[in-house]
Amino acid sequence: MPISLSALAFPNIDPVAINLGPVPIHWYGIGYVVSILLGWWVSKRLVSQPSLWRNDTPPLKGEDLDDFLMWAALGIVLGGRLGYILFYDLPIYLADPSQIVAVWRGGMSFHGGLLGVVLAIIVFTRKRNIPLFGLIDTMAAVAPIGIGIVRIANFINQELWGKPTDVPWAVIFPAAGPEPRHPSQLYEAALEGLVLFLVLWVLIHVFRKLKSPGFIGGAFITGYGISRIIVEFYRVPDAQLGYQVGTDWITRGMILSLPMVLIGVIAMIWASRVSRRA
């Protein structure tokens, strides 16, 4: 494919935001920290508005979210890293286990992070006697904020780039060669981050779906799964995996996202029926 004259040069942002002596602080890590803190702040605002919740009673308090902050961080980081190792690149890490802790180089799986947070929620709610779906819906409502921020960090890291293209907004990533490519990281930031956050905001504030426990959680994983599948058509699959099941278009990300869509739809239907019977 010839290089488009309108292709955009990569802005060449240094992945290292600042060096604290011998310790480099990467934008990728900052993205996770900012995501967790911003999600915590927005979630506290949600539980401070009783009118949004069933029977005008939030299922948890702001203090519960303060205590869950560390649980969420551990679930995201440990689950995301373990998920990437198991789902995407196990042979490499078995050959060199020292690479397991090198999270500043990327290598996090959303699906693994999701499972890690869900496990943290299950344990935390049982310990605190908090309604399970109350915390699930709260976390789901703010999750797109973090996803959008981290996808921008992926763009800065020059990873997860898209397929070659001649669209006017194509970007030339130096790490990917001279061909202009879809900035698929920014597509994901837009769809899985901004658009999904706005959809959930409308469901919460206009349609009052927090009053149907489990609905927002289902809407989140459905929306994420659909968004991820769409972007996978424009994104280059991980080199060590390639395309799956003997095709030239099915990716590991699609395979992991399809069950999310199905589970999310079932969760929304179930939540709506239970809410009508209550």
User: If phi over 0 gives left and psi between -120 and 50 gives alpha, with beta otherwise, what is residue 131?
Assistant: beta
Question: Would you say the C-alpha torsion 214, 250, 160, 1 has a positive or negative sign?
Answer: negative
- ∠192-205-131 over CA atoms, to 5°? 80
- Per DSSP, the three-state class of 229 is helix
H/E stretch holding 169 reads none
**Tokens matching residue 38:** 């911003």
**Tokens matching residue 23:** 């310790």
Residue 45 marked ligand-binding: no
Burial environment of residue 110 by CB neighbours within 10 A (0 to 12, 13 to 18, 19 or more) = buried
- How far, in Å, are 10, 83, 160, 181, 239 from residue 174 at the CA level? 7, 28, 13, 11, 17
Closest CA to 153 of 35, 242, 233: 35
Binding region: 151
